[in-house]
Structure 1
Amino acid sequence: MEKKENHLILYYKSRLLDLMNLETASSLDDWVAVVAEVLSADHIVYYKPDSENTKFYKICGFYNPFRHDVELVVPSGKIKALKTASQVVTNGKLQKDPYLKQFNIAFFIPEKNMEDGCLLLSIPNRMFGELSDADLQAFVRESRNFLQLKYELSVVEADRKRYIELFQVTGKFHSSMDTDTILAEIIYTLKRLYPVFEYTLMLSDDYHHNLDLPIKSLQYDAVDEMALESYVNGQVHLATVWRTNETMLYAPLRGKQGVYGVLQVITFANYEFNRSDLEFISLLANTAGSALENAKLYQQSMQSIEELRLINSVSRQLNKSANLKETVDFLMEQISSSFDTQAIGFVMMENGKMDLLEGSSPIFEEKEGIRYLDFANRSFADTKESLFISNLNQRFPGRNYCFSSLMAVPIIQEDDLKGFCLVLHEAPYHFSFDRFKLFQSLIYQSGMALTNSMLRERLEKMVITDHLTQLFAKNYLNSRMETSIGEDEQGTLILLDIDDFKKVNDTYGHQVGDEILIQVAKLIKENIRSTDIGARWGGEEMAIYLPGVPLQTGVQVAKRVLAAVEKNTNPPVTISCGVSYWNKEMNETVESLFNRADAGLYHAKSLGKNQVVISDMEMKAN
């Protein structure tokens, strides 16, 4: 009999050894099949307790289909009540329990650091005669050794797979400089190894990420304390919330220069993260943190290079351009393409008043846009510090701004506010702080060019403009007429003189006389086109040149100006006008055109003043 018993145990051990030598990992089902073969069982189930030790669950097994089905779940007390010091229970106790009466033997197989599993079998009665107590204890011992070794090998195999994954993902991390690729690889790797877990990446930056990834912003006022603690101290933290039946793991994404976010892993409350799980997730998070850091440093360096290129390009172009409009148009184009703005305004200060430069967005000529200009102007008057506001409506509740995001940079020279540039966008938090710093640099670089262009245009205007009337000077008029005679088909010249101007000076004084000259000049500008030239000829004489305009139209313009002067001057004055005309067939010169207009003016004076006279040549030609 002793030899038979030894033979069964030896055969069992050899079959277990066969399971260990399989090229593919054996399962508990394979082990149960070996037990059934060795003990000739036709009914066998292996139960394991849950983590709370309240129920035993069927893990694996098989049974004769002609026998009653076994229970999938058995209350913990039912199985624990069977346990004996010898860890083997035979038929007597089993027959008394309705859950277990179909079995005639039970083995309690202790597992290291875990609750004992219970193996229930229905074996032939003859086997009880062939198995001694020592054989049964040997069966328990060998089963325990097998399961423990199998568990340790599974841990080793799981670690091997995890570290292969870690090695592969590390290569992918460091071959990519794209943050979205790195973040996606973190999630995909974890899902391959732990498919039933849920994952969230809580990131501390303000970059726009792939919306398909489970990413949340790590806002200090909207994140749980454990996540914040993990972010602040750079340590892994675990928390179980029984109310939601969840266990949460927080692993910081650490680089050498700081922590870039937190990986949140969520599973069932009764799941226990073992040492290998914690070590792998922590290593993965740290590796990802280093890769994110490298990617961000690379992106920042590339962004800095692009910013330097932009500043350099703008500086070169501004140095080439002398025209204010060209300068503003170029800056508008660069700002629009680089900062994704919806409105751009360039303002220069003129005697303490805002002068909106041509080319600025139309909104700044409307009431809504003027609000932002006034706001920036008042702010610069107080501090001369640049403005960066991410949400105007949040900062100033109740004002109902149409645009929420604002950036404005002053143009300062010798501690004086010379102007400013302001950009807007409807969406709050649209401009990042990095974009704001670049915007500052761009405007600081451009400020000198803008003021120089304005000064240059003012100087040019002073050269060609009469200081008192702000009409063009005689030399400029002569130059434009000469160009017109060479390029246009025809043109009309109106020479006008204020009637009895000496009497005005004698009666009211020279200051009032100057005011009359200014009033008449203003009326001239109001009654001609932007392409026409109004000039001060000398003294109280003024001239209007109408390029491309036929004689009759020129006469109508002269009569319109004459009527406006008589009606709108204070003290009231009148003017006399002489009109001359040219076309390509006349072979005209600037001097002869002036002489004929002057003759017409003299004739108008002799006829009683306050009238328009066409020169004799024009009268004959018409």
Structure 2
Amino acid sequence: MDAKELQEELTKYKELFHAINTITLLANTASSTIEEAQIYKQFKQTISELQAMNETSQELNANFRLYKIMEFMSKQIIQTFHAQEVGFFLFSKDHNNLRVLPGTTPFFLTKQSKIYTDLLEAKIQTEKESIFIGDFNLPHINDSKKFHSLMAVPILLSNSIKGFTIVMHQKPNYFTLETFNLLQSLLFHSSLALTNLLLREELQHMVITDHLTKLHSRNFLDENIQYSMKDDPEGTFILIDIDNFKEINDTFGHQVGDDVLIQVAKLIKENIRGNDVGARWGGEELAIYLPRVSIDEGLAIADRLVKTIALCTFPKITVSCGVSYWNKDKHDTYKYLFKRADDALYLAKGTGKNKVVAQKTA
């Protein structure tokens, strides 16, 4: 190899070496950029998680209404963990029944949800620990809406399990272990405030409940409507009167009359949600307040209740209903809301009974 060829070879090696150095530099830069991006992403996630914890803590300390807190918790969990379904459940005193708390997404009110709630309830009752399932898959589940990623965290008070929270997503392995740990931390800090709120609610319930019907008192109803008219966008009020109640007492006696009231109250409770208010208005008159429910939905509920009572009571009785409604678009007062319902009830009683009549004006 002469000097010229040697020079050409050296030039090639220099160019190759320069190319290798350039590629190495680019690779290191890219690696550094990717690493920085990952760190930035983790930093943003941590900030988001701390913010969620701080907001939750503030809400728990500031709000004393159960349904408000539970709806806030549900919103926080969905936003923070991008969950598709969230459920909050409390055990009855004998642990044989579950109470679905406000804030639970509608899926958990369907039959399909029972597969998941039964499984997770049994595991929590047995293992008494939080549950993390990355890919839940039962072959016999034919429902198209299958949930593979599941997290369940017990609600504890003095080391006793009072209930549990379920968080779900359809994609397998959607939640990470870091997500699971954060959920446990979030719910751990919330459990004490929640259980204290439930204990206070239970004590209040003893004070604000009508002894005979076990419905709420008139005062409790009044207070809730006033709260709702400050905070909510709309609401529906239903005033209910048992038709021919005096004749029932005269024919069968006051004990049967009391039993009729108890039967109607039970049917009311079975046909309203947890944050709705069923109350004893006075005598044979009962009432229901439905916060954030439109007039059309309220009329449908009242109509269903009238039909159910006519079919399911013994001795057979009927009821008449007057329905009124308010929304934030129009100035209103709770006294005028009652008057409209009372006027509508008077019309229902005077035009045949066993029917629902809505307010004439809003």
CA 1:400/1:520 → structure 2, altered by over 3 Å: closer, same or farther? closer
CA 1:382/1:568 → structure 2, altered by over 3 Å: closer, same or farther? same
Kept in 1, the 8 Å contact 2:281–2:287? The answer is no
What corresponds to 2:3 in structure 1? 17
Kept in 2, the 8 Å contact 1:324–1:453? The answer is yes
CA 1:330/1:397 → structure 2, altered by over 3 Å: closer, same or farther? same
Offset at residue 517 of structure 1 (A): 5.0
Q: What is the distance in 2 between the residues matched to 1:513 and 1:543? A: 13
Q: 1:311 aligns with which of 37, 48, 53?
A: 53
Letter of the aligned partner of 1:449 in structure 2? Answer: A
Offset at residue 362 of structure 1 (A): 2.1
Q: What is the distance in 1 between the residues matched to 2:68 and 2:135? A: 32
Kept in 2, the 8 Å contact 1:493–1:545? The answer is yes
Structure with more of its chain in strand, by fraction: 1
- Give the fraction of aligned pairs with identical amino acids, expressed as a percent: 33
TM-superposition CA deviations, 1:196-241 (whole Å, max 9, x none): xxxxxxxxxxxxxxxxxxxxxxxxxxxxxxxxxxxxxxxxxxxxxx
**Cα RMSD over matched residues?**
4.9
Kept in 2, the 8 Å contact 1:534–1:542? The answer is no
Q: What is the distance in 2 between the residues matched to 1:342 and 1:528? A: 25
What corresponds to 1:213 in structure 2? none
Offset at residue 373 of structure 1 (A): 0.8
The TM-score with structure 1 as length reference comes to: 0.39
Structure with more of its chain in helix, by fraction: 2
Q: What is the distance in 2 between the residues matched to 1:360 and 1:373? A: 12
Offset at residue 465 of structure 1 (A): 1.7
Q: What is the distance in 1 between the residues matched to 2:241 and 2:196? A: 36
Offset at residue 17 of structure 1 (A): 2.9
Kept in 2, the 8 Å contact 1:532–1:544? The answer is no
Q: Does residue 1:464 correspond to 2:208, yes or no?
A: yes
What corresponds to 2:233 in structure 1? none
Structure 2 alignment gaps of length 5 or more: 228-237, 290-302, 321-334, 343-352, 354-362
SS of residue paired to 2:8? coil
CA 1:525/1:390 → structure 2, altered by over 3 Å: closer, same or farther? closer
SS of residue paired to 1:26? helix
Q: 2:199 aligns with which of 455, 480, 487?
A: 455
TM-superposition CA deviations, 1:144-164 (whole Å, max 9, x none): xxxxxx5xx755664454235
Q: What is the distance in 1 between the residues matched to 2:171 and 2:114? A: 19
For 1:106-121, list aligned pairs within 5 A: none
Letter of the aligned partner of 1:499 in structure 2? Answer: N
Kept in 2, the 8 Å contact 1:469–1:536? The answer is no
Q: 1:378 aligns with which of 122, 127, 144?
A: 122
Letter of the aligned partner of 2:100 in structure 1? Answer: L
Report the number of matched residues: 298
Offset at residue 316 of structure 1 (A): 1.4
Letter of the aligned partner of 1:329 in structure 2? Answer: E
Q: 2:28 aligns with which of 170, 175, 179?
A: 170
What corresponds to 2:280 in structure 1? 535
Q: What is the distance in 2 between the residues matched to 1:307 and 1:482? A: 35
SS of residue paired to 2:173? coil
What corresponds to 2:152 in structure 1? 408
Structure 1 alignment gaps of length 5 or more: 1-11, 28-149, 180-293, 484-490, 506-511, 548-556, 578-586, 595-611, 613-622
Moved more, 402-411 or 438-447: 438-447
SS of residue paired to 1:310? helix
Q: What is the distance in 1 between the residues matched to 2:202 and 2:265? A: 19
Kept in 2, the 8 Å contact 1:473–1:536? The answer is yes
What corresponds to 1:568 in structure 2? 313
Offset at residue 389 of structure 1 (A): 0.8
Kept in 1, the 8 Å contact 2:149–2:171? The answer is yes
What corresponds to 2:231 in structure 1? none
For 1:412-431, list aligned pairs within 5 A: 412-431=156-175
What corresponds to 2:8 in structure 1? 26
Report which structure shows greater RCO (CA 8 Å, sep ≥6). 2
The TM-score with structure 2 as length reference comes to: 0.63
